[in-house]
Amino acid sequence: GENVEQHPSTLSVQEGDSAVIKCTYSDSASNYFPWYKQELGKGPQLIIDIRSNVGEKKDQRIAVTLNKTAKHFSLHITETQPEDSAVYFCAASSGNNDMRFGAGTRLTVKP
């Protein structure tokens, strides 16, 4: 089955700096790669996703890149703000009801 690894486990940045979180996956059949944000005491919420036919996707301060050959994808947050502080999860799915999540990255943005 799919195995997703995520790094780093914790990340601390100054407000205004960029944050990058990286994930690798094992199943070459995976074709859908979402990123979820989980705030304290809440359930995860989708913030951006990318499909295998696209190499990069951007939504305001958030961007995701995908390298299918190397089986890795990354989340980039620019101009970070304190409200970006949360736990971020990457996930991968081949569409066979097999969505698997990374272990999460706790991002802290210091004002």
Interface with another protein includes 101 (CB under 8 A)? yes
Q: Mask of contacts with another protein, 21-60, x by CB under 8 A?
A: ----------xx-x-x----xxxxxx--x-x---------
Q: Which tokens sit at 11?
A: 């990340």
Residues comprising the chain, all counted: 111
Query: How many residues of this chain bind another protein (CB under 8 A)?
Result: 26
Q: What are the strands, taking DSSP E only, across the chain?
A: 4-7, 10-14, 19-25, 32-38, 45-51, 56-59, 62-67, 72-77, 86-92, 100-101, 105-110
Interface with another protein includes 85 (CB under 8 A)? no
Shortest distance, CB of residue 104 to another protein, whole angstroms? 5
Nearer CB in complex with another protein: 1/111: 1
